[in-house]
Amino acid sequence: MPQRLLLPVDGSPHAERAVEHVVGRIRNAGPGACEVHLVNVQPQLPGGITSFVSREQVAGFHRDESAKALAGARARLDAAGIAYQAHAEVGPLAETIVAVADRMQCDEIVMGTRGRTALADLLIGSTVTRVVHLSKVPVLLVK
């Protein structure tokens, strides 16, 4: 049975390095060794925003932003001939990433990190730190 990997991406160079890691890992393991799930999570917009724009416009904005964020990872996986499923979600970042990992029954989360200092994480927190704390499966951080 293939190992299920969740690969959260946001279009950043850090996320792209995680994609490269997964591509290399699958090349080494051979075809069919891993099932890849890409996910992009868009933060919810403030609740009162629909007083100014329609729900459809908000949903369209989220779709467009997710498509942009997923584009680089999709192109890289396509070029490598690696099959994947892409998921676009809206919600609190870390909690949603962990929820998708649970829903897809992933064995591991592979994600990029910005390499921030411990002090910065202590003061302002980070999505990566929160995912590590919330996840029931191993989280591989790629610098």
**Digitized pLDDT (tens) for each residue of the chain, 143 residues in all:** 899 999 999 999 989 999 999 999 999 998 789 999 999 999 988 877 766 888 889 899 999 999 999 999 999 999 999 999 999 999 999 999 999 999 999 999 999 987 445 554 554 458 898 999 999 999 999 98
Domains of the chain: 3-142 (3.40.50.620)
Is residue 127 within 8 A of residue 96, CB to CB? The reply is no
d(CA 97, CA 7): 9
pLDDT value of position 124 = 46
2: which 2 tokens? 């293939």
Residue 31: per-residue pLDDT: 77
The burial of 100, by beta-carbon neighbours within 10 Å (0-12 exposed, 13-18 middle, 19 or more buried), is given as buried
